């Protein structure tokens, strides 16, 4: 049963990586709009999707009283993560933003260790570090050209995402005392919409139909990513599945080629191979551990 949960978590994190790559491509396609406006539309679509899933599955919109602090921390951290990420996208080159955002799995592992007491194993640390090095080959960040304030804000976005994923994991490990994934997404989306609404009303920019289309698609992809990542960290701890989140870089490269005609260079290809190698390595080690506990 534990092994099946891990495999489900891996599939869900791969799905989340794909959806978030699509979301970023759509956000880029929407052109120049305020980051708060992009964040609002991304979350309002996710809110509608989550509400529809709750209603269809006859899941209550009410959460358990004892889970409210965890839901609030998850929603606050997630909202900060999105706003910071969108702000960084508006002020930094995309490769640097991606690098900073990919710090979220590290934060998730650290907070899972500190807050949930989950133990780390050597091969898991090696796999995560190896994948991170692979991502550096792909995104080739230019730290010398990064502005200090936007960079710190982008890093804060990764921290926010890491805290949010840890809270999702905490809610998922509570069993019947926890909350369903759709409710977690609904709570987060509603909170984010309320948090970004004042800025939207004060600084709304009229949109063309193509811009609206791209933002709606970004919202749908973001909802798919939220449902997937919520399920992923419910099925398995961050230390076992977060490494697979780096496949988002591969998905982004494919979408970049199809939509924007971008081709990866040899360093990027080396990064792809390293990330995939680390993923296979961790998979084999977890299988070995299951057979020889």
Residue 284 counted as domain residue: no
Residue pair 231/22 in contact by the 8 Å Cβ criterion: no
Separation of alpha carbons 194 and 76, rounded Å: 11
Highest averaged pLDDT of the listed ranges 106-120, 154-168, 202-216, 223-237: 202-216
Determine the pLDDT at residue 50. 87
Q: How many domains does the chain have?
A: 1
Q: How many CA atoms lie within 13 A of 259 on its CB side?
A: 17
Q: What is the residue range of 66's domain?
A: 2-118+143-259
Residue pair 36/200 in contact by the 8 Å Cβ criterion: yes
139 versus 127: the higher-pLDDT residue is 127
Determine the pLDDT at residue 191. 94
User: What is the pLDDT confidence band of residue 72, given thresholds at 50, 70 and 90?
Assistant: very high
Average pLDDT, the chain: 80
Residue 185 counted as domain residue: yes
How many CB atoms within 10 Å of residue 203?
A: 10
User: What is the pLDDT confidence band of residue 247, given thresholds at 50, 70 and 90?
Assistant: confident
Residue 161 counted as domain residue: yes
Determine the pLDDT at residue 163. 83
Residue pair 86/27 in contact by the 8 Å Cβ criterion: yes
Residue 33 counted as domain residue: yes
Determine the pLDDT at residue 75. 92
Residue 150 counted as domain residue: yes
Residue 291 counted as domain residue: no
Residue 279 counted as domain residue: no
Helices of type H across the chain: 2-29, 35-56, 68-91, 94-101, 104-116, 122-139, 148-172, 181-202, 209-235, 238-241, 247-260, 266-291
Residue 278 counted as domain residue: no
Global confidence as pTM: 0.75
At residue 243, does pLDDT exceed 90?
Answer: no
| pLDDT tens, residue by residue, 141-198 | 655 555 567 777 877 888 888 788 778 777 776 666 767 778 888 999 999 999 999 9
Determine the pLDDT at residue 289. 77
Least confident of 94-103, 125-134, 209-218, 266-275: 94-103
Instruction: DSSP letter for 246, please.
Output: G
């Amino acid at each position: 049963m534990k092994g099946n949960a891990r495999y489900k978590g891996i599939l869900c994190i791969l799905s989340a990586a794909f959806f978030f790559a699509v979301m970023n491509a759509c956000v880029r396609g929407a052109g120049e709009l305020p980051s708060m406006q992009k964040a609002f539309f991304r979350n309002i679509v996710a809110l509608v999707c989550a509400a529809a899933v709750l209603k269809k599955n006859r899941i209550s919109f009410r959460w358990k009283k004892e889970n409210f602090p965890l839901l609030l921390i998850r929603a606050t951290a997630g909202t900060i993560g999105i706003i910071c990420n969108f702000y960084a996208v508006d002020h930094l080159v995309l490769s640097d933003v991606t690098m900073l955002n990919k710090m979220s799995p590290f934060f998730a592992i650290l907070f899972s260790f500190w807050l949930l007491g989950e133990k780390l194993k050597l091969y898991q640390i090696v796999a995560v570090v190896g994948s991170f090095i692979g991502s550096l080959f792909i995104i080739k960040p230019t730290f010398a050209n990064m502005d200090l304030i936007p960079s710190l804000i982008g890093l804060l976005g990764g921290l926010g995402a890491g805290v949010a994923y840890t809270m999702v994991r905490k809610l998922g490990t509570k069993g019947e005392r926890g909350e369903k994934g759709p409710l977690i997404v609904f709570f987060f989306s509603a909170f984010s919409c309320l948090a970004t609404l004042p800025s939207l009303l004060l600084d709304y920019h009229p949109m063309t139909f193509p811009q609206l289309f791209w933002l709606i698609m970004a919202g749908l992809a973001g909802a798919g990513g939220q449902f997937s990542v919520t399920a992923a960290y419910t099925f398995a701890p961050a230390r076992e599945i977060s490494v697979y989140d780096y496949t988002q870089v591969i998905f982004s490269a494919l979408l970049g080629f199809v939509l924007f005609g971008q081709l990866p260079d040899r360093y990027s290809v080396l990064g792809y191979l390293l990330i995939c190698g680390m993923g296979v390595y961790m998979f084999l080690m977890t299988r070995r551990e299951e057979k020889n506990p």
